[in-house]
Each structure stands twice: as structure tokens, then as C-alpha cells.
Amino acid sequence: AQKITQTQPGMFVQEKEAVTLDCTYDTSDQSYGLFWYKQPSSGEMIFLIYQGSYDEQNATEGRYSLNFQKARKSANLVISASQLGDSAMYFCAMSPPENTDKLIFGTGTRLQVFP
């Protein structure tokens, strides 16, 4: 069965610095999708970035980039130039190939950005 692991329950970063949030996944499939979501205190889940398992280039979206290492089964999120508004919970998720409708979520990492 597929599984997402986020081992960092909490992370601190100073404003304007970069931070990496870890995500590892477990699957025997060759085709899958990886996603990162942000959940601020309001509760809404905000889609940040997507990486397909066959994508050769790491995905980037503005200040977000996904460090995809397929052999190590890791999909770490890198946030550059952190801002106070980046303080939130961050969830990594995966869609298995047999059911692309399903997203399997990790337990999340709480990021706190301080001035």
C-alpha cells in the first residue's frame, strides 16, 4: 500500500531564509503523482506544486520548488526567501496510478517563520 511520511512535525525558519520540508513515499508503482499543499490557520488547503513520477525536471512554482529524488523516494518541498505568511501546516500527498482520484496525505509539518 502507498504511504507518505513527513518526519518533521515542526520547523522554524527566519524570514528571507530558505527552508526544506521533507517528504518520503512508499510505493511499488512506477507511475504516480506527488503534491504539496499549504494549510494556514484558516483551515483551507491550498495547492502549491505537483511533480509527476516521469517528470525529469524538478517542478517549480514561484518560490516553491520540489526536490524530487526518485531513487530515494523523496519529494522535498523547498521554500525560498521565506515570508511571515508562509507560516502554516504543509502536507505532502501522492496519487497512486490505479486510482488517480485518490490522494494519500502525510501527517504534515508545521512551519513557523520568524522575523
Partner 1 sequence: SQTIHQWPATLVQPVGSPLSLECTVEGTSNPNLYWYRQAAGRGLQLLFYSVGIGQISSEVPQNLSASRPQDRQFILSSKKLLLSDSGFYLCAWRADGGEQYFGPGTRLTVT
Q: Which of 53, 76, 82, 95 binds partner 1 (CB under 8 A)?
A: 95
Is 103 within 8 Å of 94 (Cβ atoms)?
yes
Q: Judged by CB under 8 A, which stretch of 18-26, 37-45, 56-64, 71-79 contacts partner 1? A: 37-45
Answer yes or no whether residue 107 interacts with partner 1 by CB under 8 A.
yes
C-alpha cell at 112: 513557523
Q: How far apart are CA 41 and CA 70, in angstroms?
A: 32
Is 20 within 8 Å of 76 (Cβ atoms)?
yes
Answer yes or no whether residue 42 interacts with partner 1 by CB under 8 A.
yes
C-alpha cell at 100: 488517480
C-alpha cell at 37: 499543499
Give min distance, CB of 20 to partner 1, in A. 19
- Radius of gyration of the CA atoms of the chain, in A: 14
Answer yes or no whether residue 33 interacts with partner 1 by CB under 8 A.
yes
Answer yes or no whether residue 43 interacts with partner 1 by CB under 8 A.
yes
Return residues touching partner 1 (CB under 8 A): 4, 33, 35, 37, 42-47, 50, 91, 93, 95, 100-103, 105-108
